[in-house]
Structures are given as C-alpha cells and as structure tokens.
C-alpha cells in the first residue's frame, strides 16, 4: 500500500527557504487585508505581493481561509492586557476598554472581521475561531473568579459567561449595526455584565 497521506508541505523542512516563504506570505496577507480589505484578498494577489509562485501558496494554505487562519497566530500573541486591581468593577472596565482599544487602534479589527465573515461559510475557520475565543475568554474570566472568591459575586456565577456577556455588545456593533466602538460602549458593556452577575442572572446552569 502507498502512504495514505503524505506530510503537508512546510512540515518536513520547516527552516530556511520554507520559513522565508511563510514569512513573506503572511506579511503579504496582512498587508493586503489591512490596505485593500478582506474583499480584495485573493491567493493570487498574496502570491504576487509575497514574490512567491501561486502554486506554492495553494499547496501550503489551500485558499484564503487558510491564509486567514495563519494570521490568527498573530492575534493570539497580541493579547488584551489583563489587570488585577482588586475590584471586579475596575477589572472588567479595564477589559472592556482593552477590547475597544484593540479593535479600533490595532490591526485586530479588520482581521477579526474577516475571520468571522469567513467562519460563516467555512467550518475550518469557525473551529479555529471557537478555540481561540475559548482560550481568550477563559483567561479573562480570571478576574471574575477572584471576585467570586472574595465574595463580591454569587458563588455559583459562571465566570466565562460574564466575560461573554461583556464581549457580546462589541461584536454586535462591529457586525450587526456597524457602529464605532467608543468608551461609552465599553462602560456600558462592563457595567451590564457586572449588573447581571450581581443580580445572579449568570449562574452556572
């Protein structure tokens, strides 16, 4: 029998030229996405800007969705700073402002929008995103867990659910109403999630 599936390109010799190509392609993807927008993103353009044969890009990333997934690594590194002020109220407000900041002042906005739009059509991207959010929200939930331990919130509060409630309004604005993310929203989102948690509406089920 012949080997069922040969190793994916870029996995056997991950250094040297292979790595240079990877860098050039991700750089080109990011550049095009930010300058031209998601709509103009195509494998051909990326290959052209990267100075790489398009067949190479097709082989290693398959399509634009694969290119976007590669960019998620960057999003993971550029995390939103998590603080520990000793007060849930301030922790959550800081988090909300961090979210507003990262989506308005950094490259994350267009990238995340493109990824979400793609995830509607593409299961691979949807899975990748789900995992990404889960990790991120779980880390952010730490401040809620501390608050519960301090007795500032009901003992059976679901920490991650609080974070999700806090985050939801941002994505609502970005995707549904296409409104700007201002500090007003950050304060409302943080206050809303906190009010719900305090009222006992975000308990574990």
Q: Is 1 in the site for its own copies (CB under 8 A)?
A: no
Report the residue number, 42 or 107, with the smaller CB distance to DNA. Answer: 42
Whole-number minimum distance, CB 49 to DNA, in Å?
12
Judged by DSSP in three states, 203 sits in strand
**Phi-psi map region of 200: left, alpha, beta (phi>0 left; psi -120 to 50 alpha):** left
> Any idea which residue has 């490259």 for tokens?
107
Q: Is 34 in the site for its own copies (CB under 8 A)?
A: no
Instruction: For the segment 105-164, give every residue that binds its own copies (CB under 8 A).
Output: 113-114, 116-122, 126, 129-130, 133-134, 161, 164
Whole-number minimum distance, CB 2 to its own copies, in Å?
32
Question: Considering only CA atoms, which of 23, 49, 20 is closest in space to residue 34?
Answer: 49
In whole angstroms, give the CA distance from residue 162 to residue 197. 7
Question: Considering only CA atoms, which of 33, 39, 44, 103 is closest in space to residue 68?
Answer: 33
Torsion of CA 66, 67, 69, 75, to 10 degrees: 180
Q: Is 42 in the site for its own copies (CB under 8 A)?
A: no
Report the residue number, 159 or 167, with the smaller CB distance to its own copies. Answer: 167
Q: Is 53 in the site for its own copies (CB under 8 A)?
A: no
Pair of tokens at residue 41 = 């993103």
Q: What, of DNA, its own copies, none, does residue 95 touch, CB below 5 to 8 Å by kind?
A: none
- List, in order, residues 6 or more apart from 148 with CB less than 8 Å away: 154, 155, 157, 159
In whole angstroms, give the CA distance from residue 44 to residue 28. 11
Residues in contact with DNA by the rule CB under 7 A: 7-18, 21-22, 42-45, 51-56, 58-60, 62-64
Q: Taking a C-beta distance cutoff of 8 angstroms, is the pair 68, 114 a contact? A: yes
Q: What, of its own copies, DNA, none, does residue 192 touch, CB below 5 to 8 Å by kind?
A: its own copies
Whole-number minimum distance, CB 155 to DNA, in Å?
51
Whole-number minimum distance, CB 12 to DNA, in Å?
3
Site for its own copies, rule CB under 8 A:
37-39, 113-114, 116-122, 126, 129-130, 133-134, 161, 164-165, 167-169, 171-172, 175-178, 184, 188, 191-193, 195-196, 198-199, 201-202, 205
């Amino acid at each position: 029998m012949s080997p069922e599936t040969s190793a994916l390109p870029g996995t056997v010799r991950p250094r040297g030229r292979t790595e240079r190509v990877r860098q050039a392609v991700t750089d080109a993807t990011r550049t095009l996405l930010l300058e031209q927008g998601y709509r103009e993103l195509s494998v051909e353009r990326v290959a052209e800007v990267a100075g790489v044969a398009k067949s190479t890009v097709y082989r290693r990333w398959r399509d634009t969705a694969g290119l976007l997934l590669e960019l998620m690594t960057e999003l993971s590194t550029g995390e939103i700073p998590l603080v520990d002020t000793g007060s849930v109220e301030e922790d959550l407000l800081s988090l909300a402002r961090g979210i507003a900041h990262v989506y308005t002042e950094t490259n994350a906005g267009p990238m995340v929008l493109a990824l979400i739009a793609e995830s509607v059509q593409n299961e691979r991207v949807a899975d990748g995103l789900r995992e990404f959010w889960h990790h991120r929200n779980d880390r952010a939930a730490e401040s809620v867990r501390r608050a519960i331990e301090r007795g500032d919130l009901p003992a059976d509060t679901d920490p991650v659910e609080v974070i999700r409630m806090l985050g939801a309004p941002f994505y609502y604005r970005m995707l549904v109403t296409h409104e700007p993310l201002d500090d007003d929203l950050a304060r409302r989102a943080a206050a809303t999630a906190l009010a719900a948690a305090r009222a006992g509406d975000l308990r574990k089920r």
